Structure 1
């Protein structure tokens, strides 16, 4: 399934490694170093018009998202719930 993470970016949910609150960058030297190294390799996609509220880490790229961690979590959980629903369409007789 796919998750819309803002700024016209849609990613596959299976590629998401972590979703982190943007305010945690300054409190963790490990996160700062990871983002610094990924920026050198041009593997960071910043938000265009909005302030970043969350960081979405995937297998290949780090995205800065204008959406909150809570909103992204709801979207990811919605996809998980939809995947678990059984398909009863073939059982219905009209």
Structure 2
């Protein structure tokens, strides 16, 4: 199964680790360190030109998605329940 993250980006649901609201990036010291390390390792991808609303962590990358974390979580949950 696949999850659409916005723009033309689709990931395998098996790669998904976590979905966060973008506000976590500024509210937690650990998340700041995580993002800094992902940036240093060039594992960050910004999807589309729209304002980013969520962070999607996968096995290989961290995506900044223009789709809200609630919408992405609903999509992921629909895959689990089907």
For normalisation by structure 2, the TM-score amounts to 0.93
User: Which ranges of structure 2 fall in alignment gaps of 5 or more residues?
Assistant: none
Q: Does the 8 A contact of 2:25 with 2:32 survive in 1? A: yes
Distance 2:39 2:53 in 1: 18
Quick check: which one's strand share is greater?
Answer: 2
Contact kept in structure 1, 2:9 and 2:47, CA below 8 Å = no
1:66 and 2:66 are equivalent in the alignment:
yes
Aligned length: 82
**Offset, 1:25:** 0.7
**What's the secondary structure of 1:38's corresponding residue?**
helix
TM-score normalized with structure 1 length: 0.82
| Separation in structure 2 between the aligned mates of residue 32 and residue 46 of structure 1, nearest angstrom | 17
Displaced runs of 4+ in structure 1, greater than 4 A? none
Uncovered stretches (5+) of structure 1, i.e. residues with no partner = 83-94
